[in-house]
Amino acid sequence: MNNHIFLSPPYMSASEKELLIEAFDSNWIAPLGPQVDKFEEETAKYIGLDNAAALTSGTAALHLALKILGIKEGDNVLCSVLSFDYDWLKAELLVEEKFKTKLHGKITHEAVL
């Protein structure tokens, strides 16, 4: 008996299989290559920017965001203790309470993740 409950069952059509074979045949699987370049170009065009970067993980994306924001050692960054940020962020009263606690305690933050 299969007890797995998939959040989103995988689906592969013929076009996905073709692209997968193309990636393997080109020997460019990750994190670079023509497929990634095309994805970045199409994403940038879609969102109306000159450039976009495909990263290998959410952690890499957060690291890059902190670098771009100029966050440095010693800066305060407010973030969820869970990897499921939406659950924390949707509790608006808790978020507001945490901000007030930080602000009234004269602790400033440079970013909120």
Q: Give the pLDDT of residue 39.
A: 92
Contacts of 95 (CB under 8 A, 6+ apart): 88, 89
Q: Give the pLDDT of residue 50.
A: 97
Residues 88-96, mean pLDDT to the nearest whole number: 57
For residue 101, give the amino acid letter.
T
Over residues 4-50, the pLDDT tens digits come to 777 777 788 899 899 889 888 988 877 788 888 999 999 999 999 99
Q: 59 or 50, which is more confident?
A: 50
